[in-house]
Amino acid sequence: MLRGSFELIGDKSISHRAIMFSSISKGRNKISNFLMGQDCLSTISCFRKMGVDIQIDNGDVFVKGNGLYGLKKPQDILDVGNSGTTIRLIMGILAGNNFEATLIGDESIAKRPMKRVTNPLQLMGCRIEGNEDANYTPIKINGGNLKPIDYKMSVSSAQVKSALILASLYGNGMSTIEEKVKSRNHTEIMLKSFGADINVDGLKININPVDELYSQNIYVPGDISSAAFIIVGALITKGSEVVIKNVGLNETRTGILDVVKAMNGYIEVLNKRLVGGEVVGDLLVRYSPNLYATTIDKSIMPRLIDEIPAIAILATQAEGTTTIKDAKELKVKESNRIKAVVDNLRLMGAYIEELEDGMVIRGKSTLRGANIQTFKDHRIAMAFSIADLISDGNVKLDNKECVDISFPGYFELLKNLQL
Ligand code: S3P
């Protein structure tokens, strides 16, 4: 069982944005509760290569911003490692800057589609080259002299939206970006606090260029996507009671709370408060023996896209048939998460069927130990470490280090919570 309380580490999405927006602001920025995960460190490394002074001191990050037009041409290739957020958002910034830069990443990044960003940036007048018609790394960008854009997004993606908002800061007129379903809005919230001229009207976002962004002190709330594994662990292991403190509860991210409630899981939000424009609270989660199945579709998908591997484990312990659909995007995350979840859960004895755009899971089932292929995907590794809590026999992960991408210290924390 899991018992205890802990302070949640910083949010990955917000940590990336804090470094990026600070780097292109004017003045000194301080970032507290920054996530020192590999992905966010990749973002720091890219901006240092563009001449930004970024210091880490006692867990805080200090960024001396270069101003909106002050980044330097990097002397070296920008390596984003495993980070999709870094490469997609940075393209929006590079598109507005008058120099050439080349972006690469690891073998997972090499398989992830970039056209969703490079295509609209080309429409804004940016010159971009890359493999297969600017769809894959290496990507070479020659930015500057951007036109505004009026763009209806065809994929639901906060990364694409954010890249276009960032490029729009450099356009020579008002840009409008329209989403199909609202995705995480940390970019809109944080850029506004930096002084950007952004107006959100339902699913439409209007951005007017500004001369400068102005430095901020940023407090990064805890990452609900990281909390998801502990939440599921507590819900499914007998006798558990866990308090997770300082969880970011921005409603574009809290789909998992709605799903847990719909499945009859016990989760309570305590101490709800507003910190730097983001809602934060503590979560009390208890073992819930009477879980039942649910359906998850496009109306909620962007609010829990990263939590599907954890939710799939939860569904194996719920009575009835859980259907997860409209989740095609999972195929182009750090790994093909539909296949990774379905194949590994089947190995563990779950009743699970793969769909073109999701999966169907029939519960409750007793899980058995297995050798799990993580595909070096941090969220697959953490999801199956939770399955291990209830399995007969051990779960062996082929790679544990990959959790450092988003949750350094994860296994120690899990061990400390275990009684
Ligand atoms: C992120 C957006 C999501 C998410 C990723 C982080 C962000 O990706 O899966 O982990 O920080 O904007 P998409 O926007 O591509 O869905």
Same structural domain, 268 and 158: no
Q: How far is ligand 1, taken at its centre, from the CA of residue 85, in Å? A: 6
The residue contributing the CA closest to ligand 1 atom 10 is 306
- Among 169, 191, 213, the domain boundary falls at 213
User: Which DSSP category does 296 fall into?
Assistant: E
pLDDT digits (tens, 9 = 90+) for 356-401: 999 999 999 999 999 999 999 999 999 999 999 999 999 999 999 9
Give the pocket of ligand 1 (CB within 6 Å).
Answer: 13, 85, 157-159, 162, 183-184, 305-306, 329
Contact in structure between 8 and 280 (CB atoms under 8 Å): no
Distance CA 369, CA 221 (A): 35
- At 419 the pLDDT is 82
Spacing, Cα 366 to ligand 1 middle (Å): 32
Percentage of the residues of the chain whose pLDDT score is greater than 90: 100
Which of 161, 195, 213 is the C-terminal boundary of a domain?
213
Question: Looking at the annotation, which residues are catalytic?
Answer: 306
Q: How many domains does the chain have?
A: 2
- Of 213, 229, 250, the position where a domain reaches its end is 213
Task: Show the tokens assigned to 76.
Answer: 């070296």
- Within a domain: residue 358? yes
Whether 77 maps to a domain, the answer reads yes
Looking up residue 407, the CATH number of its domain turns out to be 3.65.10.10
| Residue 231 counted as domain residue | yes
Pairwise CA distance, residues 277 & 38, whole Å: 26
Whether residue 191 is found in the same domain as residue 283: no
Is there a single domain that holds both residue 77 and residue 167? yes
Encode pLDDT of 264-275 as tens digits: 999 999 999 999
Based on the domain organization, do 159 and 277 belong to the same domain? no
Closest ligand 1 atom number to CA of residue 162: 12
**Cα–Cα distance, 18 to 315 (Å, whole number):** 35
**Residue 401 is part of which domain span?**
221-417
pLDDT tens track for 159-179: 999 999 999 999 999 999 999
**Over residues 226-233, mean pLDDT:** 98
Q: For residue 347, what are the CA distances in angstroms to 78, 266, 373, 405? A: 39, 29, 10, 25
Q: Are residues 235 and 373 in the same domain?
A: yes
Closest CA to 55 of 47, 67, 63: 63
Residue 216 has pLDDT above 90, yes or no: yes
Residue 249 and residue 117 in one domain: no
Give the model's pLDDT for residue 391.
98
Atom 5 of ligand 1, residue of closest alpha carbon: 85
Mean pLDDT of the chain: 98
Going from the Cα of 158 to the center of ligand 1, the distance in angstroms, rounded, reads 6
Residues paired with residue 321 on neighbouring β-strands, in sequence order: 362
> Per-residue pLDDT averaged across 135-143, rounded?
98
Take atom 11 of ligand 1 and give the residue whose Cα is closest. 13
Q: Are residues 230 and 197 in the same domain?
A: no
How confident is the model over 310-336, as a mean pLDDT?
98
Query: Band of the pLDDT at 220, cuts 50, 70, 90?
Result: very high
Specify whether 237 is located in the same domain as 208.
no
DSSP 148: P
The residue whose C-alpha atom lies closest to atom 13 belonging to ligand 1 is 157
| CA of residue 337 to ligand 1 center, whole Å | 14
